[in-house]
Amino acid sequence: MAAKMYYDRDVSTAPIENKLIAIIGYGSQAHAHAQNLRDSGFNVVVGLRDGSASRAKAEQAGLRVASIEDATKEADVIMLLIPDEQQPKVYEQSIAPHLSAGKALAFGHGFNVHFGRITPPADVDVFLVAPKGPGHMLRRVYADGAGMPGIFAVQQDATGHARDIALAYANGIGCTRAGVLETTFKEETETDLFGEQSVLCGGVTHLIQAGFETLVEAGYQPEIAYFETLHEVKLIVDLIYEKGFEGMRHSISNTAEFGDYVTGPRVVTAETKAEMGRVLQDIQTGKFAERFIADAEAGFPFMEEQRGKMRDHTLEVVGKELRDKMPFINKKALEV
């Protein structure tokens, strides 16, 4: 293996023992970081805006809550886990004035530092620890005794300890149980945006939707289309996750495997891959980031239009009815 991987046994947690870690926000990533670090034995304070709807939830989980300003003042490590588009303003107003020399400012994604929207002072450490998965799953796998892979990067090492702090942090949230490797803010930002757009979120949802619509428009029952093109995706992907392509193909019929080789390249074509290359270029040049920030600044008109389109889509309506009849599907994971 080319990359140097870090596991629990390779990492000392001493750099964050007896320190205070402020988790700013209590959303998808933040609640998982806060709870995992606390359960790993570290000191955590959650920093929330005035009147935050999340205060009660964090307190119910046994976490101490302070204002973002006070949490920043008190803490040694400040992990900023609010939405990327909100971060620059909150950083300027509530964090930067209270960042003193020797503290560490941390991120879960490199977006704002990489695209120059946040420039921390030279006398603080700046690092990222990016778990490779959704926050609700970060908490779930940790609570199950497992872990989620993660990547870390140091942008600025003012104290000489930034790398050790980042690794200890990755241990605290459970990432070194699964494997952690070193990256840069640029590599993390570009690969993360590419992955979520092309494969994980954009790719998967649009593939499912196209398959579902093809069956329903051809007159097949939506419930069958849902099971076939959405529900079963998890079962097949679980096999890929556990055993790779070959392991998954061992479990499916020869008929399915033959169809996989014949039809896969008809659906995901050379042109699809060429388009992925152009998607990557838009990310690398900052064109995607610009588009995202422009929509955010206008109140997300494009994003809201897309959300509206899917809300009443048969796939979502039928899916909800079917999932409601399957109480074993884990609903707790989404309760923050």
Ligand X SMILES: NC(=O)C1=CN([C@@H]2O[C@H](COP(=O)(O)OP(=O)(O)OC[C@H]3O[C@@H](n4cnc5c(N)ncnc54)[C@H](OP(=O)(O)O)[C@@H]3O)[C@@H](O)[C@H]2O)C=CC1
Residue ranges of the annotated binding site are: 26-29, 49, 52, 54, 135, 192, 196, 228, 232, 253
Q: Residues 148, 179: contact at Cβ < 8 Å?
A: no
Alpha carbon distance 257, 248 (integer Å): 9
Q: Would you count residue 280 as binding ligand X2X (CB under 6 A)?
A: no
Residue in 67, 86, 184, 284 binding ligand X, rule: CB under 6 A: 86
Residue in 16, 45, 79, 90 binding ligand X, rule: CB under 6 A: 90
Q: Would you count residue 81 as binding ligand X (CB under 6 A)?
A: yes
Among positions 102-161, residues that touch ligand X (CB under 6 A) are 108-109, 130-131, 134-135
CB of 84 to ligand X, least distance (A): 5
Q: Would you count residue 200 as binding ligand X2X (CB under 6 A)?
A: yes
Among positions 243-302, residues that touch ligand X (CB under 6 A) are none
Q: Angle, nearest 10°, between helix axes 314-324 and 202-217?
A: 90
Between 103 and 132, whose beta carbon lies closer to ligand X2X?
132
SS (H, E, C) 94-127: HHHHHCCCCCEEEECCCHHHHCCCCCCCCCCEEE
The site for ligand X2X, by CB under 6 A, has a size of 7
Q: Would you count residue 189 as binding ligand X (CB under 6 A)?
A: no
Alpha carbon distance 39, 213 (integer Å): 44
The DSSP symbol for 200 reads: I
Q: Would you count residue 134 as binding ligand X2X (CB under 6 A)?
A: yes
DSSP letters spanning 262-295: HHHHHHS-HHHHHHHHHHHHHHHHTHHHHHHHHH
Task: By CB under 5 A, name the binding residues for Mg ion.
Answer: 192, 196
From 222, 200, 27, select the one nearest 108 (Cα to Cα).
27
Measured in residues, the chain has a length of: 336
Q: Residues 98, 73: contact at Cβ < 8 Å?
A: yes
From 225, 216, 234, select the one nearest 322 (Cα to Cα).
225
Alpha carbon distance 138, 143 (integer Å): 9
Helix or strand (DSSP H, E) at 211: helix 202-217
Q: Would you count residue 279 as binding ligand X2X (CB under 6 A)?
A: no
User: Which stretch, 28-36, 182-190, 211-219, 247-255, contacts ligand X (CB under 6 A)?
Assistant: 28-36
Residue in 192, 222, 226, 318 binding ligand X2X, rule: CB under 6 A: 192
Between 52 and 184, whose beta carbon lies closer to ligand X?
52
Which residues participate in the annotated binding site for Mg(2+)? 192, 196, 228, 232
CB of 188 to ligand X2X, least distance (A): 10
CB of 170 to ligand X, least distance (A): 13
Q: Would you count residue 188 as binding ligand X2X (CB under 6 A)?
A: no
Strand pairing of 104-107 and 20-24? unpaired
The residues binding ligand X (CB under 6 A) are 25-30, 48-49, 52-54, 81-84, 86, 90, 108-109, 130-131, 134-135
